Amino acid sequence: MVWLGVDLGNARVGLALSDPELTFAHPAGNIHVAGDYFFAIDEVLNVVEDEHVTHIIVGLPLQMDGTEGKSAKKARRWAVNLEKRLRSEREESQEPQIPQVVLVDERLTTVSAHRQLFEAQKASTKHRPMVDQQSAVVILQTALDRAGEQ
């Protein structure tokens, strides 16, 4: 069992994978999307298949007051489109299990990711390409920690 974390960004979509024991999240790269992260769905589906992903945790960029703005609504649409594609691909392959797609509040994950990269002594000029996948790690680790508490 492996979980996938997804941080949707306008330039890059960051990915993170869990270990099979669902204890730790680690970076799994970026998908360059050039302004439209709906282009990332095919590549995310490839990762889901290659890594036998059972849960997909998508960051939901709520506003600081907890309300949903334009970005959160777009993330919800992306998650719905991903679920539709997962269902149609599973029906074609006749696999019974469809990975669960879950949205998780991602407020301050980018700040946390920058802090973690700084603490790892990564030069701040190198943060930008790494921050998306590190944000995905934070999103996924939050979900893993919550699941472990239940």
Domain-wise residue ranges, the chain? 2-149
pLDDT band at 62 (very low <50, low <70, confident <90, very high): confident
Per-residue pLDDT at 124 exceeds 60: no
* pLDDT recorded at residue 64: 81
pLDDT band at 108 (very low <50, low <70, confident <90, very high): low
Q: Which of 106, 130, 107, 104 is nearest to 119 (CA)?
A: 130
- Residues 6+ away with beta carbon under 8 Å from 40: 8, 13, 31, 33
Which residue's structure tokens are 């921050």?
A: 131
- Average pLDDT of 120-124? 56
What pTM, to 2 d.p., does this model score?
A: 0.86
Highest mean pLDDT among 97-106, 109-118, 120-129: 97-106
pLDDT band at 34 (very low <50, low <70, confident <90, very high): confident
pLDDT band at 36 (very low <50, low <70, confident <90, very high): confident
Phi, psi of 109, rounded to the nearest 5 degrees: -65, -35
Alpha carbon of 123 to those of 13, 51, 84, 126, 129: distances in Å?
21, 31, 40, 5, 11
pLDDT band at 130 (very low <50, low <70, confident <90, very high): confident
pLDDT: which is higher, 142 or 131: 142
* pLDDT recorded at residue 9: 86
CATH topology (fold) of 2-149: Nucleotidyltransferase; domain 5 (3.30.420)
Look over the chain and give the mean of its residue pLDDT values, rounded to a whole number: 85
